Amino acid sequence: MRIIVGVAGGIAAYKACHLVRNFKETGDEVRVIPTPSALNFVGAATFEALSGNPVNTSVFEGVDEVQHVRLGQEADAIVIAPATADLLARLAAGRADDLLSATVLVATCPVILSPAMHTEMWLNPATQANVELLRSRGMTVLEPASGRLTGVDSGPGRLPEPEQIADLARMVVAGGALPRDMVGRSLLVTAGGTQENLDPVRYLGNRSSGRQGFALAEVAAQRGARVRLIAGVTDALPVPAGVRVERVTSTAEMAAAVERHRAEADAIVMAAAVSDFRPARAAESKLKKGRDEGSLTAVPLVENPDILRATVLARERGEVPRGTVIAGFAAETGDAERSALEHGLAKLERKGCDLLMCNEVGVGKVFGERRNRGWLLRARPGESAAVEEVADASKHEVARAYLDALGAVTRPLQV
84 or 304, CB closer to ligand CTP?
A: 304
41 or 277, CB closer to ligand CTP?
A: 277
The annotation status of 329 as a binding-site residue, yes or no, is yes
Query: H or E stretch including 50?
Result: helix 44-51
The annotation status of 286 as a binding-site residue, yes or no, is yes
- Radius of gyration, CA atoms only, the chain: 24
The annotation status of 292 as a binding-site residue, yes or no, is no
Within 8 A by CB and 6+ apart from 103, the residues are 4, 6, 33, 67, 68, 71, 72, 75, 78
Round to whole Å and give the CA distance between 112 and 367: 29
Q: Is the dihedral of CA 72, 75, 80, 81 positive or negative?
A: negative
Rounded least distance, CB 358 to ligand CTP, Å: 9
Round to whole Å and give the CA distance between 23 and 2: 10
Within 8 A by CB and 6+ apart from 132, the residues are none
| Residue whose beta carbon is closest to ligand CTP | 328
Rounded least distance, CB 394 to ligand CTP, Å: 20
The annotation status of 214 as a binding-site residue, yes or no, is no
Rounded least distance, CB 159 to ligand CTP, Å: 32
The maximal CA–CA distance of the chain, rounded, in angstroms, is 82
Calculate the alpha carbon distances from 339 to 42, 189, 336, 344, 364 in Å: 54, 28, 8, 9, 19
The annotation status of 276 as a binding-site residue, yes or no, is yes
Question: Which residue ranges make up the site for ligand CTP (CB under 6 A)?
Answer: 190, 270, 272, 274, 276, 304, 306-308, 328-331
329 or 367, CB closer to ligand CTP?
A: 329
35 or 212, CB closer to ligand CTP?
A: 212
Query: H or E stretch including 30?
Result: strand 29-34
Q: What is the DSSP string of 386-410?
A: EEEEEEEEEHHHHHHHHHHHHHT--
Rounded least distance, CB 142 to ligand CTP, Å: 28
Report whether 269 contacts 302 (CB < 8 A): no
Within 8 A by CB and 6+ apart from 120, the residues are none
Rounded least distance, CB 401 to ligand CTP, Å: 16
Rounded least distance, CB 206 to ligand CTP, Å: 9
8 or 356, CB closer to ligand CTP?
A: 356
The catalytic site residues sit at 206
Rounded least distance, CB 329 to ligand CTP, Å: 4
Report whether 38 contacts 8 (CB < 8 A): yes
User: What residues are paired with 380 via a beta bridge?
Assistant: 383
175 or 305, CB closer to ligand CTP?
A: 305
Round to whole Å and give the CA distance between 311 and 314: 5
Angle between helices 395-407 and 162-175 (to 10 degrees): 60
Among candidate residues 145, 119, 118, 141, the one with its CA nearest the CA of residue 130: 141
Angle between helices 340-351 and 307-316 (to 10 degrees): 40
139 or 272, CB closer to ligand CTP?
A: 272
The annotation status of 305 as a binding-site residue, yes or no, is yes
The annotation status of 100 as a binding-site residue, yes or no, is no
List the binding residues for CTP. Answer: 276, 286, 305-308, 329, 347, 351
